[in-house]
Structure 1
Amino acid sequence: MSANLAEAIRKAATARGLTVTTAESCTGGMVAAALTDVAGSSAIFERGFVTYSNAAKTEMLGVSPATLEAHGAVSEPVVHEMAVGARDAARADIAVSISGIAGPGGSETKPEGRVCFGLAGPVGVTTETVEFGALGRAQVREAARDHALGLLASALGVEAD
């Protein structure tokens, strides 16, 4: 699924003259990899950010330490700042951000499988939290990758399969 969706994103972004970027934590670059697996992706994707630690989120994307302290890395306020920071740093038109608990583990307040997403585009920023459940680390990461690709596709007017 991700290959077809990535190709559709490439086509739609190219047709509209738009660029995309990623800011990833728990997926460790899986969204960027899916996008750049597609031939011709350099027309729409120049760079992505893997910001696994809080320090990386702050240093590379400008996420406020106060936001991290108040809400934790897995939160909608943080992915909001990640998406805006990535869009600005990459000078891209659209950015998607991801931070979550892939597992194993988690806590009562932030369970395994919780993933927060941000999308920053020309018309503003949206955030959402998805509870994938305790599917296992690899499955949560794959589900998060696919969801992020779906958000990019939706922002570009592409129908997800």
Structure 2
Amino acid sequence: MPEEIAMLAQETVAALAAAGLTVATAESCTGGLVAAALTSISGASDVVYGGYVTYANEAKIAMVGVPYALLRQHGAVSKDVAMAMAEGALAVAGTHLAVAVTGVAGPTGGSKEKPVGLVHFAVASADGTTHVKKNFADLDRDGIRQASVAEALRLLLKAARA
């Protein structure tokens, strides 16, 4: 695991524990790497409920309740779907926080509207849902996925400290 991700995971687990918070993940392009980073830390079992790898649209629907109409209207890589993934994971898991990641890791699959490197993030809590959009176009597939994990951990850390 890259040093930056290991450090962020350690800080995030510590912050969640200090705040008495639990978390679930809903991941598409990262394929479970956010949950893997968190659970690589000793003591993560106190704060990590688990993760949903919702790579296919059907999994987004079945596992975290993303409405089919939302996927059809906006596509999987969108603000609306990222927010629905986070909110769905929060509801299904019953945790304090949920983070969602959906994007185009490439090298294929991009379009003019949704280029390779475009990633949407969302963090949901009882207080609401926040969204962040990033473009990691200068990175390869592995780089996009690693940068996405780091960003998801940063967002969770911020939410845990709020």
TM-score normalised per structure 2: 0.95
Asked if residue 55 in structure 1 is aligned to residue 67 in structure 2, the reply is no
Partner of 1:42: 45
Give the partner amino acid of 2:79: E
Q: In 2, Cα distance between the equivalents of 1:129 and 1:15?
A: 28
Partner of 1:79: 82
Number of aligned residues: 158
**CA offsets per residue over residues 42-79 of structure 1, 9 Å max, x none?**
00002110000000000000000000000000000001
Q: What runs of 5+ residues in structure 1 fail to find an aligned partner?
A: none
Asked if residue 130 in structure 1 is aligned to residue 131 in structure 2, the reply is no
Asked if residue 94 in structure 1 is aligned to residue 97 in structure 2, the reply is yes
**CA offsets per residue over residues 66-102 of structure 1, 9 Å max, x none?**
0000000000000110000001111110010000000
Q: What is the root-mean-square deviation in Å for CA atoms of aligned residues?
A: 1.0
TM-score normalised per structure 1: 0.95
Q: Is the 8 A contact 1:112 1:134 kept in 2?
A: no
Match 1:18 to one of 21, 29, 33: 21
Q: Is the 8 A contact 1:68 1:78 kept in 2?
A: yes
Tell me the secondary structure at the aligned position of residue 48 of structure 2. coil
- Residue 7 of structure 1 and its aligned partner are, at CA, apart by 1.2
Give the partner amino acid of 2:160: L
- Residue 122 of structure 1 and its aligned partner are, at CA, apart by 2.8
Identical amino acids, percent of aligned pairs? 47
Which structure 1 residue ranges, 4+ long, deviate > 2 Å from structure 2? none
